Amino acid sequence: MRDRKLKLRAEDAEDLAVLAALLQDARAPLFEMVYQPGERRFAAVFRRYRREAQPHPDVRDGLTEVACALVFEEIEAVRHRGLDPADRERVHRLLTIATHPGRERLVHIHLVFDGGAEIRLECDRIRARMEDFGEIVAALEPPPFHPLDEPAGERG
């Protein structure tokens, strides 16, 4: 598993949650994200942390990263907020991928980024794939720490 590259697909919300976990904190500039309306495809290239290769989730020493393509098919429309199309070089950090029902039969897939930015994909069904490619390298920077809003013992 240490040097293994992943190639996965998602066909429902549970599958997409797995991709979201693997892509948490993945980085991509806006120029690496594209919507191809003629092909009904949205694609993005990220640098993702390979946490699955770590012996323990809290260990950051030896963390590696790899380039990763994330592709969604059968996309009807793409909307965004908090992204400046003129600032294509700015790197955005993916926090999660969420799904919500849309109107009629549509499904909304939300790519949620740091700073409140979001891309919403509208589709009839979930058809996604994620594939690592290129060289596995030492992580260029550590992933951010995501503290909980409140300690577990203080929940009421």
Residue-wise pLDDT for 40-64, tens only, equals 999 999 999 998 988 776 666 789 9
State what percent of residues in the chain have pLDDT above 70: 88
Mean pLDDT over the full length of the chain: 90
- pLDDT tens digit string along 104-146? 778 999 999 999 999 999 999 999 999 999 999 999 888 887 7
**What does the pLDDT read at residue 79?**
97
Name the H helices within 1-156: 13-23
Q: Is the confidence at residue 85, as pLDDT, over 70?
A: yes
Burial 124-153 (b: 16+ CB within 10 A, else e): eebbbbbebeeeeeebeeebeeeeeeeeee
Gap between the terminal Cα atoms of the chain? 40
- Kindly indicate the confidence band of residue 94, based on its pLDDT and cuts at 50, 70 and 90: very high
pLDDT value of residue 104: 72
Average pLDDT over residues 65-76: 98
The full set of domain ranges for the chain reads 7-142
Which tokens sit at 145? 């720490």
Give the predicted TM-score (pTM) of the model: 0.88
Instruction: Tell me: pLDDT of 25 over 70.
Output: yes
- In the predicted structure, residue 156 carries a pLDDT above the cut 60: no
Q: How many CB atoms neighbour CB 34 within 10 A? A: 12
